[in-house]
Chain A
């Protein structure tokens, strides 16, 4: 069973509210929340999959009630305590009990541009051969679950579980989020863009030729007959 973040195809969310391109942040604290989160990433205590999972594992009532950056802050606070960077007492009191042994990793202002520009590529050299080629028909895992950790992180959305599609592109070998989110190593494997007919995914597709394409790891897929 998936978590509350896995909302693709859900009914009942109402209209999308467009907004002008000039609106980047909607409250004074939003850019601060973004910056604190990015700066903490430089301490190198977690990876992107850990941080996604930290937001996903918020209690469903919190996930639903929190705005976007509130989810970021909650996930960040939980990770900082999980990884021993901060203590619960420090969070409660609002002050540090003492300096951190990680202080030499602090992101400095002069390093920001370089760090953001370097990014964090997900591709890795890997031995696992790509077993599918463009045009091949594949079926996804029947259930959108993490194969290593019960209730763990995965990037197969529930709406595309057990569906048959076709390979449209090979993206190379990327870190497997299901492992990386849980400290189980990078375990890189081929990632493919897989196209699914809308009629394969939805009871009443809007148009017979519409498609949804997902990027899926090789271990999520099996050959479809």
Chain B
């Protein structure tokens, strides 16, 4: 069997030790070689800082709460449904929506790296990428929930989804009681990023 022979390559160690200088060095070399357009970098950053974030996901959840046909279609084929709203793209090519109920609470992790549905939730938070979350979410999800101040009813099962392939999961949190009269915009304000990862619950009005 061939061996993965790259184990001892450390080209990255040739760059400056300080990470800010490391990025700058790479950007400089690549720009000089004609491989990078600094204006394209600004455009990418603006996209993930200002245009793509968890409000996209909140929009999907609020609509699922208020429109039963939309909710059914979302649970059937989330990729098609979110694409129609314009939320298709890098790291969201294969979406699956999973719904929290009295019976089951869903939670998402990527134990091998930090896979995350960028078009719906933006860039993952630091804790999602942390060793602690990646290590613990699958073995002790209830203790991890406690770190977020969340306690589930004793008879609710926890189902943790480990994103080991290119499929990205969106948790549809339970709609809070007392929200019957709220429109989609008001419902969106109750949907937090963490509630769509499953480490939080939707806010109460």
Contacts and interface: CB of A to CB of B under 8 A. Distances in A.
Whether both chains belong to one complex is answered with: yes
Interface of A: 5-19, 21, 23-29, 31-36, 38-40, 43, 48, 52, 55-59, 67-70, 73-78, 80-82, 85-86, 88, 90-92, 94-96, 98-100, 102-103, 105-109, 111-113, 115-123, 146, 148-152, 155-157, 159-160, 169, 171-172, 174-175, 182, 191, 193, 195, 201-202, 206-207, 209-217
B29 A91 contact: yes
Nearest 3 CB-CB pairings of A with B = A8-B111, A103-B34, A215-B165
B179 interface: no
A31 B144 CA distance: 28
Q: What secondary structure prevails in chain B residues at the interface with A?
A: mixed
Contacts, number: 335
B19 A29 contact: yes
Interface of B: 1-4, 6-7, 9-12, 14-16, 19-20, 22-30, 32-37, 39-45, 47-49, 53-54, 88-94, 96, 109, 111-114, 119, 122-123, 125-127, 129-144, 147-148, 157-167, 192-194, 199
Contacts of A33: 19, 23
Contacts of B130: 13, 16-17
A168 to B, nearest CB: 9
Contacts of A15: 132, 147
Given A18-B194, A36-B41, A78-B9, A91 B15 contact: yes
A150 B45 contact: no
B140 to A, nearest CB: 6
Contacts of B40: 35, 39, 106-109, 111-112
Given A43-B35, A123-B94, A214-B162, A18 B10 contact: no
Contacts of A108: 37, 39-40
Contact of B132 (A14, A28, A115, A201): A14
Contacts of A16: 127, 130, 132-133, 136, 144, 147-148, 199
